[in-house]
Amino acid sequence: MTYTIPKFRILIITLLGILIFASADAQDSQKSKVFYSIETSSLSHNRTPNPLVVRRMVDNLVCTATGKASPSAAWSSLVKPTDRVGIKVSAVGRAVSGTHTAIVKAIAAGLISAGIPASNIIVWDRHLDDLIAAGFSRKDPLYRLRWVDTATGYDKKAQVTAPVIGRLIWGDSSFGDRDGSRIEDILGNGEQLSSTSFYSKVLSQEVDKVINVPSLTDSFLTGLNGALANMTLPNLDNWRRFTRTPDFGDPYLAEIYADAMISEKVVLTVMDALVLQYAGGPFPNPGYLADHHTIFLSRDPVAIDATAIRLLNENRTPSRLPTLDKMTLWLESASTIGLGKNKEEDIDLIRVGAHAQSPDGFKLTNPPQPDAR
């Protein structure tokens, strides 16, 4: 399977626009919904998550978003017991600003309650050392831990081609492979160059559905290391070419995410904003952290990223840091091709209260809301 990114953005906009406008009358009249839960007790004084509180927050969010009365029913509406479910985390921030294990465990427990065996729940990111440093375990009973092996972890039958050349380095699946005489290598004066990237086998072969769980951090590469960035760049080799200045991922983050390999597998985005890092990302930088005690959830990855960018900008302003607006133009591209909505007036932020006393005795005191995108 080959996915080719067009040379000019107008091509993909035109092709997708035909499909979008066919059903746009009903869709465009509705706002995208981003649900969020805030609980100050979700973190201890040393920023360690409280697992019971986090579980309650996740349960409340998924029930409200799906309009179901219990976590098992909520997760059953998103995945089937026969699905292999991937939980894509962002571990590059490690224990400082990476995805918290408490949120992942809450999601995994909910999936298990919906009939998904723990053996069919895969938690993954690119690097094992990042995952371990973020607190994930190869022996956790709730999930299987996976990562992308540099030698065997990429699928040569699932590729993305784009009219931008990248220099291959160690870690790219074709690095060192000089069989044949490719025109890119001839023009590269001995350097290995390529316009092709391969998807990770975890994404292409090992999971049927995905829960995307980025952490709320900025990125010097793409402005935000959020929903779109977390599903695209860490799942490709030869990815650096997509983040060059002055575009910072525009329009490639949007166009790669639109590929069925990603867009048709991701059923939900859960953004970890218990702690947010507003500068120095995506690598851990304790000097730019803020406690936020919040978890966001949405079916619209663009809306959740747009919300995250506004939050980061609000935290950057007091430190006299520039906004991330010029680095996140890919958000507008994503909205243009129909991946979601990025304008504040098109997004409903819906706060979900703490209705449950414990994960075992879950009850909604408010009636479920209608199923939302």
Give per-residue pLDDT as tens, 332-361: 999 999 999 999 999 999 999 854 343 433
Band (pLDDT 50/70/90 cuts) for residue 189 is: low
User: What was the pLDDT predicted at 151?
Assistant: 86
Q: Per-residue pLDDT for 2 more than 90? A: no
**Cβ-contact 113, 71 below 8 angstroms:** yes
Q: Which of 166-170, 176-180, 298-302 has the lowest mean pLDDT?
A: 176-180
Query: Would you give the DSSP letter of residue 195?
Result: E
What angle (nearest 5°) sits at the alpha carbon of residue 122, between those of residues 118 and 126? 160
Greater confidence (195 vs 295) lies with 295
Higher-confidence position of 231 and 150 = 231
* Statement: residue 362 has pLDDT above 50: no
pLDDT tens digits along 11-27: 444 444 444 444 444 44
Domains of the chain: 31-150+201-361 (3.40.50)
Tell me how crowded residue 248 is: count the other CB atoms within 10 A of its CB: 22
Rounded Cα distance, 136 and 128, in Å: 9
Residues 6+ apart with CB under 8 A from 232: 239, 242, 252, 253, 256, 257, 262
pLDDT at res. 353? 84
Please report the pLDDT score of residue 358 as a whole number.
Answer: 38
In 3-state terms, what secondary structure has residue 85? strand
Q: Does the pLDDT value for residue 363 go beyond 80?
A: no
Q: Is the pLDDT of residue 238 over 50?
A: yes
Q: Assess whether pLDDT exceeds 50 at residue 371.
A: no
Mean predicted confidence (pLDDT) in 169-198: 64
Higher-confidence residue: 169 or 310?
Answer: 310
Q: CB–CB of 116/209 below 8 Å? A: no
Q: What is the pLDDT of residues 38-75, one digit of tens each?
A: 999 999 988 999 999 999 999 999 999 999 999 999 99
Bridge-partner residues for 123, per DSSP?
A: 87, 145
Q: Is 238 left (phi over 0), alpha (psi -120 to 50) or beta?
A: left
First CA to last CA distance, the chain:
28
Cβ burial of 151 (10 Å; 0-12, 13-18, 19+) is: exposed
SS3 state of residue 268: strand
Rounded CA-CA distance 318/274 in Å is 20
- Phi, psi angle pair for 307, to nearest 5°: -65, -40
pLDDT exceeds cutoff 50 at 180: no
Other Cβ atoms less than 10 A from the Cβ of 293: the count is 17
Average pLDDT on 117-139 reads: 98
pLDDT digits (tens, 9 = 90+) for 262-290: 999 999 999 999 999 999 999 999 999 99
Is the separation of the CB atoms in 256 and 229 below 8 Å?
A: no
* Cα(12)–Cα(281) distance, integer angstroms: 30
On whether the CB atoms of residues 105 and 60 are closer than 8 A, the answer is no
As a whole number, mean pLDDT of residues 207-236 equals 98
Nearest in space to 339 (alpha carbons), one of 301, 297, 306, 294: 301
2-4, strands of its sheet edge to edge: 2-4, 154-167, 193-200
Assess contact for 28 and 333: CB atoms under 8 A.
Answer: no
3-state secondary structure of 32: strand
pTM of the full structure = 0.86
pLDDT of residue 26: 47
Tokens of 12: 């993909």
pLDDT at 188 over 70: no
Pairing of strands 85-89, 121-124: parallel
Mean pLDDT of 134-140: 98
